[in-house]
Structure 1
Amino acid sequence: MLLTRLARPFSRKFTTTAVARSEYQQEGIPGANLPFSIANRYKLAVYMALFFCSGFSMPFIVVRHQILKK
């Protein structure tokens, strides 16, 4: 208990620094600090599927290219 009292002034609060660095200062709004919109969930699902599928399929495409190369 004594250790927590001594360490309390030295602890850093990351939430306050993240809020201080925010450009828009919109607290409590989910997705307000994201670089893309999450309002349309179908568009978001398509974008996420394209993003993750492109990264997952790339090794298979590279292997196929190497096998078919003469």
Structure 2
Amino acid sequence: MASVGRLALSRLSTLGVKRNISTTVVRRSQAWQQEGVPGANLPFSIKNRYKLTLYFVLFFGSAFNLPFILVRHQILKK
């Protein structure tokens, strides 16, 4: 009987601890200050349009050109 009570108590305390920790983390993260700001959650800046364009060209261009480079390498390989 004591083990059943302990199990129920551990479940309740675990749920309570998780809730308290998660709300504390949200409060400390200050994510509420950046809500509604476009690009606030991106790992790069979108303020400079030319730098952003260069990033897009390099990222998508390298993925597009990779098969062509690999085929050329295989053709030229002896």
Q: Confirm or deny a common fold (TM above 0.5).
A: yes
Match of 1:42 in 2: 50
Unpaired runs of 5+ in structure 1? 1-19
* Corresponding residue pairs, total: 49
> Which amino acid is 1:50 matched to?
L
Match of 1:6 in 2: none
Larger radius of gyration: 2
**Which structure dedicates a bigger proportion of its chain to helix?**
2
> What TM-score do you get using the length of structure 1 for normalisation?
0.66
> What TM-score do you get using the length of structure 2 for normalisation?
0.59
Identity, % of aligned positions: 69
RMSD of aligned Cα (Å): 1.1
Extract structure 1 runs of 4+ deviating beyond 3 A.
none
Higher RCO structure (Cα 8 Å, ≥6 apart): 1
Unpaired runs of 5+ in structure 2? 1-25
Distance in 1 between residues matched to 2:69 and 2:49, nearest whole Å: 29
